[in-house]
Structure 1
Amino acid sequence: MNRLLDDRATRLFIGLAAFFCVNAVLAEFIGVKIFALEDTLGIAPLQWNLFGQSGSLNFTAGTLLWPIVFIMTDTVNEYFGKRGVRMISWLAAGLIVYGFVFAFVAIHLAPASWWVGVARDQGVPDYQAAFAAVFGQGLWTIWGSLIAFMIGQLIDVSVFHRIRRRTGERHAWLRATGSTAVSQLVDSFVVLYIAFVIGPQHWPTSLFLAVGTLNYAYKMLAAIALIPLLYLARVGIHRYLGHERAAELRRHAAGD
């Protein structure tokens, strides 16, 4: 076991997997908050108009972390191949389910009477109700997000390697952005369809298409903006492993 942990590639995979999983789990839990992008940036509302729907740009707080998840997916894909991505994706999905199970258990624990009103001076008259509202996301939202996440990850890894077979070791940005473009097109609409169309809210088609398009556009802009981070990670990995070992991992990943 000690010899296994002495291997830098093994330690790298453990570190990447841990960072990937914590970002995926956090994105699910903080995703309950909806924020206004224009107000956050201190600019006037853009008043977008799509498919007959209009308004300001509102996103879930989870969108702050999903671009990092995309970068981590592509980095693991680059050095550890399909098996590596599938392993961390199933691990993250299991941890998300595990987290939500215990969140629901915690919600149903009888609250201490003094704790319920402890934040009244901060504008929270019922701490138990607030806790339940934040951590008790609807089951449709949870399962929609989880199913979309797994479908997106499996599509991402497949498209990534298809592009890699055509480009070889060149154009890392193209396979990263191309795989994200396809996987997130599916992910952005699947989660909304399950959570809000067939779920209890029954969104109209126009709202579903408008919100899905905005979410997809945001994710793609973020993925493009973070391309330098992909290359920065690559430089760091080559320094950590050594160019020969890093090249060996990439060759194995390409043939996975």
Structure 2
Amino acid sequence: MYGMNRAQKLFVVLAAFFVANAVLAEFIGVKIFALEDTLGLKPFEWNLFGQSGSLNFTAGTLLWPIVFILTDTVNEYYGKRGVRFISWLAVGLILYGFAFAFAAIHLAPASWWVGVAQDQGVPDYQAAFAAVFGQGLWTIWGSVIAFLLGQLIDVGIFHRIRRATGERFVWLRATGSTAVSQFVDSFVVLYIAFVIGPQHWSMGLFLAVGTLNYIYKMSAALALIPMLYAMRRGIQAYLGDAEAARLREEAARA
């Protein structure tokens, strides 16, 4: 990163963390975890749209709130073009990663490797590898389309709120844009992956799971507002007040 100024170095770091979190969220999202059991709580029997059950989420939800914070931070200092660039970059690398995951699945496994984890309760390592990394194409495309659509909506709403409020209410433009974009994201991914996909979920199940996912994402986004302000303070300290103000002004005009 020789020859780069501090603003350029900051963008590279933010973009790297954004892409890393987005790609990791896609790959670990294959695991579904029980929130109540993880926290040691009594199962919460929700009932929505004729559906009931406990609170189960994909492991990718651990990382998406951090993606929201990074999106809003890049939006704040580098504007629409910055967010669009890192969003398209993340999509490209997600597809790149899945392409090689599928290629790895179809490599002929070494005979000794297939049973190497039998003592750990994994009788067929090849089958386990394929199950974890071989997410269905409907799920992959649903997730990628929903992610990109959500990001593009987020950047537009963010700047509309910014134009209306100026430099005030950082939390409002961050949570307001996330509220709209993640409403779209939460339902689009499920609709593509599980309604029009091979599982053909009922509309009740689709609405119930989408609503729970949306509530979880928004709760996490609200809980992480202090992190948004902490990142803002850190950037101010790193860039200096004058340079940080210049970037914000340019981002607002872009």
Q: What interval of TM-score do these two structures reach, taking the shorter chain for normalisation?
A: over 0.9
Deviation at 1:56, TM superposition (A): 0.2
Secondary structure of the equivalent of 1:45? coil
Separation (CA, whole Å) in 2 of partners of 1:66 and 1:52: 28
Residue by residue, what CA displacement relative to the aligned partner does 1:227-256 show, whole Å, maximum 9, x if unpaired? 000000000000000000000000000001
For residue 106 of structure 2, what is the aligned residue in structure 1? 108
Deviation at 1:149, TM superposition (A): 0.2
What is the aligned counterpart of 1:226 among 211, 224, 227? 224
For residue 166 of structure 1, what is the aligned residue in structure 2? 164
Separation (CA, whole Å) in 2 of partners of 1:24 and 1:123: 30
For residue 29 of structure 2, what is the aligned residue in structure 1? 31
Deviation at 1:47, TM superposition (A): 0.3
Secondary structure of the equivalent of 1:59? strand
In the alignment, residue 42 of structure 1 is paired with which amino acid?
A: G
Separation (CA, whole Å) in 2 of partners of 1:66 and 1:46: 23
For residue 141 of structure 1, what is the aligned residue in structure 2? 139
For residue 51 of structure 1, what is the aligned residue in structure 2? 49
In the alignment, residue 241 of structure 2 is paired with which amino acid?
A: H
Residue by residue, what CA displacement relative to the aligned partner does 1:102-160 show, whole Å, maximum 9, x if unpaired? 00000000000000000000000000000000000000000000000000000000000
Deviation at 1:186, TM superposition (A): 0.2
Separation (CA, whole Å) in 2 of partners of 1:92 and 1:232: 24
For residue 117 of structure 2, what is the aligned residue in structure 1? 119
Deviation at 1:2, TM superposition (A): 3.8
In the alignment, residue 83 of structure 1 is paired with which amino acid?
A: R
Separation (CA, whole Å) in 1 of partners of 2:218 and 2:234: 24
Separation (CA, whole Å) in 1 of partners of 2:162 and 2:7: 21
Structure 1 position 40 matched with structure 2 position 38: yes
Separation (CA, whole Å) in 2 of partners of 1:184 and 1:59: 15
TM-score, length of structure 1 as denominator length: 0.99
For residue 204 of structure 1, what is the aligned residue in structure 2? 202
For residue 69 of structure 1, what is the aligned residue in structure 2? 67
Secondary structure of the equivalent of 1:35? strand
What is the aligned counterpart of 1:235 among 226, 233, 243? 233
Residue by residue, what CA displacement relative to the aligned partner does 1:52-81 show, whole Å, maximum 9, x if unpaired? 000000000000000000000000000000
Residue by residue, what CA displacement relative to the aligned partner does 1:195-229 show, whole Å, maximum 9, x if unpaired? 00000000000000000000000000000000000
In the alignment, residue 170 of structure 1 is paired with which amino acid?
A: R
Secondary structure of the equivalent of 1:194? helix
What is the aligned counterpart of 1:195 among 185, 193, 196? 193
Separation (CA, whole Å) in 1 of partners of 2:246 and 2:70: 19
Structure 1 position 98 matched with structure 2 position 88: no
Deviation at 1:41, TM superposition (A): 0.5
For residue 154 of structure 2, what is the aligned residue in structure 1? 156
Residue by residue, what CA displacement relative to the aligned partner does 1:171-199 show, whole Å, maximum 9, x if unpaired? 00000000000000000000000000000
TM-score, length of structure 2 as denominator length: 0.99
Separation (CA, whole Å) in 1 of partners of 2:147 and 2:38: 27
In the alignment, residue 46 of structure 2 is paired with which amino acid?
A: W
Q: How many residues align?
A: 254
Cα RMSD after superposing both structures: 0.6
